[in-house]
Amino acid sequence: MYSKISELVFGFHGCDEEVARQVINGDDELRPSNNDYDWLGNGIYFWEQNYDRAYEWAINLKRLGKIQTPSVIGAVIDLGTCLNMLDGKYISLLTEEYLLLESEYHLVNMDLPVNKGRTQDKLLRNLDCAVIEHLHATLAEDSPIHKSPFDSARGLFTEGDEIYPGAGFRTKNHIQICVRNPNCIKAYFWPRVQDNDWPMP
């Protein structure tokens, strides 16, 4: 009953400047990520209300040789029916889905995927991705249009180092959005630079 998040949110997507230009001009679309380690399953990823992290991501893509010129696309997003991992109901739903997936793997004598990485953040979320994609597939079986009823997924991630000794906050904490239904994206825009002659409302 309360899975529809009522307000629009701003999302930011780090990419190459030419890609940003083509998308904002309406000549192309952002492509969904379909990696088996995606943190919130497959879809188009955005940093919620976080331009700086999107730009850091783009800079890292350049460092890895994947893009030429780091840039950021802004998006106005209606999350629709959201698999919101800040809501206990959906945390319980995913826990139940994990048990279903585990039993299926056990039946065929296969090992479950695992989250892995060199840091405590475990940047390759193969298990989480498998559970979320299994949930979408399960729900799609009962759908007349054979699609998951979830338009998007949203999660809070603690990442990075403590901001001071003993802190509960980390340097790279963020909320990430994964858009499955492209109709959730209402508009793209070039993010503006703040006018320092005026207060920020």
Q: How far is Cα 83 from Cα 51, in angstroms, rounded to an integer?
A: 23
Say if residue 125's pLDDT is above 80: yes
As given in the structure block, the two tokens for residue 138 are 């399960």
At 101, phi and psi to the nearest 5? -65, -40
The mean pLDDT value for 108-124 works out to 88
Looking at the DSSP bridge assignments, the partners of residue 82 are 152
Please report the DSSP string for 15-53 in residue order: EEHHHHHHHHTTS--PPPB--TT-BTBSBEEEEET-HHH
Percent of the chain with pLDDT over 90: 77
CA 98 to mean position of chain CA atoms: 19
For the beta carbon of residue 142, count every other beta carbon within 10 angstroms.
9
Quick one: pLDDT at residue 2? Answer: 60
CB 83 within 8 A of CB 152: yes
Which range (9-13, 140-144, 173-177) has the least confidence? Answer: 140-144
Say if residue 4's pLDDT is above 80: no
Which range (32-36, 105-109, 144-148, 175-179) has the least confidence? Answer: 144-148
Position 159 confidence tier, pLDDT thresholds 50, 70, 90: confident
Parallel/antiparallel/unpaired status of strands 70-78 and 185-189:
antiparallel
Say if residue 142's pLDDT is above 90: no
DSSP H or E segment with residue 96: helix 88-107
Q: How far is Cα 72 from Cα 17, in angstroms, rounded to an integer?
A: 7
pLDDT digits (tens, 9 = 90+) for 53-76: 999 999 999 999 999 999 999 999
Unique residue bearing structure tokens 């997507």: 13
The mean pLDDT value for 144-160 works out to 87
CB 142 within 8 A of CB 52: no
C-alpha distance across the termini of the chain, in Å: 33
The mean pLDDT value for 89-107 works out to 95
Unique residue bearing structure tokens 């492209």: 182
pLDDT digits (tens, 9 = 90+) for 6-57: 789 999 999 999 999 999 999 999 999 999 999 999 999 999 999 999 999 9
Q: How far is Cα 88 from Cα 127, in angstroms, rounded to an integer?
A: 19
pLDDT digits (tens, 9 = 90+) for 84-97: 999 999 999 999 99
Q: How far is Cα 42 from Cα 152, in angstroms, rounded to an integer?
A: 10
Q: Which of 26, 42, 49, 36 is nearest to 176 (CA)?
A: 49
- Looking at residue 127, its amino acid is L
Q: What is the pTM of this model?
A: 0.91
Quick one: pLDDT at residue 3? Answer: 60
At 17, phi and psi to the nearest 5? -60, -40
